[in-house]
Structure 1
Amino acid sequence: MSGAGAPTSQPYDASGLKVAVVAASWHTQVMDGLVAGAERALAAYGISEPEVIRVPGTFELPVVAAALAQAGYDAVVALGVVIRGGTPHFDYVCSAATDGLTQVSVTHAMPVGFGVLTCDTEQQALERAGLEGSVEDKGWEATAAALDTARVLTGLRDV
């Protein structure tokens, strides 16, 4: 399983951060699991009422993440899932989402938690969605990564 070697993150009080979750709508069961994992992580870090925004699909994540960065958010968690099919559509959407979210993060010096699952099968996505019986919780992991990076950036700004 791909989660081997993942860093451990200990929640801290991040209640002073303004955080949003932007999540795709395709593959409802997987996406609901990812959003629930993000919300569990945010609660563990002391963020009780994050902004949660749903968009049509994974391709739309970067533009909304950019708007949230411009609106002054400290971190964004981007959640989506793309499942390989029989056409190159998978490659285009995965590449566009990855490149777009990276551009938002670097341009705005704002952490974007990358919770976009790029799977060959729906079963692989379900195994990573943080649902009961899943072996991984990528919604939690993407959120922890965004919050831990926000903490690092805050420290750098205070230097």
Structure 2
Amino acid sequence: MKKSRLTLKDKKIITDKLDAIGMHLSEFSFPNLFLFRNTHEYETVTTPHGFFLSGVTYDKKRFLMPMTSPEKAGEDCFTEMKELMAGEEWDFVFPVPEEWLECFNEKDFTRTYNPDDSDYLFFTEKFKTYPGKKLHKKKNRLNQFLKNYEALLIP
């Protein structure tokens, strides 16, 4: 297993993996991953049969993020992920879109749902002009993103 901190050099491989997944969750977005790379201590994790991201939640729990949908990953990759999860390094797999749940049987995995970890939407105008410090960090990240990247909306 090889681990390394997430950098801009990882953009192509991660973007290609995310495009193949076809999920439009914020966690499955390179700009989001890159902006939060220090906050969540993102690392790439490469195994003989798989490629994953690793991160840390705000409450210091370590998670492993699959970078291939389970149905496309193949048995070797999924077996490696289960072996990684059986060790002490990671606490849980995150995110797991609803479409993937059937691949995570309840014999091997305990499923939980936390609405605070679900995607969220802000009305753009309110977000950009929100007074005070409540959304200050988020506004700065939005401005940084808009300055450095072209935003695309995919229906």
Higher-RCO chain (CA-CA 8 Å, sequence separation at least 6):
1
Of Structure 1 and Structure 2, which has the larger fraction of its residues in helix? 1
Of Structure 1 and Structure 2, which has the larger fraction of its residues in strand? 1
TM-score over 0.5 (shorter chain): no
TM-score w.r.t. structure 2 length? 0.31
TM-score w.r.t. structure 1 length? 0.31
